[in-house]
Structure 1
């Protein structure tokens, strides 16, 4: 598994908690650092995509594997 600057386990959290936890976790990172997230909420796929788009963070990876959703997000260089 690649090295990430931070990891977030959002397994079992219902919408909108995964995105809220992602927002909080990204606040602890510097611009350009990466966050790995795993979630089980089926809505997280579209929610995380929308969140990264409107916050100018970069969604590097989004995939579903064995009913889990895996994301890699790079924090944007400008504060949002």
Structure 2
């Protein structure tokens, strides 16, 4: 069960990543964010950003051009 959902469908790079960063900045550590995006660049950009941050990628998937990420907000 996620705490928040960010629907970035239809947005082009770099907007899904920027909106993900903004949303995570407003969340408490331990909360989970679900991100839904349709831009293929998100499959590369979001995990790359998370590797450089305190946040943790809990899961990711792609179905019919829709990318879904579940991220645990770090401290």
TM-score (norm 1): 0.90
Consecutive unaligned residues in structure 1, runs of 5 or more: none
Match in the other structure for 1:18:
16
Q: Secondary structure at the match of 1:25?
A: helix
- 1:51 maps to 49
SS at 2:18 equivalent: helix
Aligned residue for 1:55, secondary structure, equals: coil
Q: SS of 1:70's equivalent?
A: strand
Give the aligned length: 75
Cα distance in 2 for residues equivalent to 1:62 and 1:19:
14
Match of 1:28 in 2: 26
Q: Gaps spanning 5+ residues in structure 2: where?
A: none
SS class of match (1:51): helix
Could you list the structure 1 runs, at least 4 aligned residues long, displaced by more than 3 angstroms after superposition: none
Q: Find the partner of 2:67 among 66, 69, 72.
A: 69
2:53 and 2:14 map into 1 onto residues whose CA distance is 16
